[in-house]
């Protein structure tokens, strides 16, 4: 059985598990939006991931991730909240693949899932950072982390 078919066969349990994981995480904006909103978003992402795996085409994932980043950013969601939703679905999909895929199909199935969701999370994060960099966002101010990274000559003499 191919990866997309396997995931579709277990759609309901994967979505239930991903919702439960996200609910237990107490992600502020998803909690405030409610179960119906959250489940609908997880379902949309699930369907998109399965379609991308089946078609071997990431164009829809890219467009979706940009749109989600823009919508959630404007609605005040933190990037970590949106990533938590992606991660909850990814965890449930992974678990189902590992439990259900034939051993000879496991490498391809997990590779496809990683490719699609990894790509989606990357586009999401890059879009979110791009939006956030247009205005000062405290959580993205990394100057303190990099303070003092310029090595002084006496610190590098032993390296030559």
What mean pLDDT is predicted for residues 16-42?
87
State yes or no: pLDDT of 28 exceeds 80. no
pLDDT on residue 156: 46
> The pTM is what?
0.78
Domain boundaries of the chain, sorted by first residue: 3-134
CA distance 94 to 74: 30
99-147 pLDDT, tens digit each: 999 999 999 999 999 999 999 999 999 999 999 887 544 444 545 555 5
What mean pLDDT is predicted for residues 91-105?
93
Does residue 109 or residue 26 have the better pLDDT?
A: 109
Structure token pair of residue 8: 């579709």
43-71 pLDDT, tens digit each: 999 999 999 999 999 999 999 999 999 99
**What CATH number has the domain spanning 3-134?**
1.10.490.10
DSSP symbols for 60-125:
HHHHHHHHHHHHHHHTT--HHHHHHHHHHHHHHHHHHHHHHS-HHHHHHHHHHHHHHHHHHHHHHH
């Amino acid at each position: 059985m191919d990866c997309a078919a396997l995931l579709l066969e277990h759609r309901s349990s994967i979505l239930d598990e991903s919702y439960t994981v996200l609910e237990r995480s107490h992600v502020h904006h998803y909690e405030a939006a409610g179960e119906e909103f959250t489940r609908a978003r997880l379902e949309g992402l699930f369907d998109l991931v399965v379609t991308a795996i089946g078609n071997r085409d990431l164009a829809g994932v890219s467009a979706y991730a940009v749109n989600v980043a823009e919508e959630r950013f404007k609605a005040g969601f933190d990037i970590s909240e949106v990533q938590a939703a992606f991660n909850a679905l990814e965890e449930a999909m992974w678990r189902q693949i590992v439990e259900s895929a034939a051993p000879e199909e496991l490498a391809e199935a997990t590779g496809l899932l990683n490719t699609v969701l990894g790509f989606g999370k990357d586009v999401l994060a890059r879009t979110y950072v791009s939006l956030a960099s247009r205005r000062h966002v405290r959580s993205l101010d990394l100057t303190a982390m990099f303070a003092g990274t310029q090595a002084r000559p006496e610190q590098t003499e032993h390296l030559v």
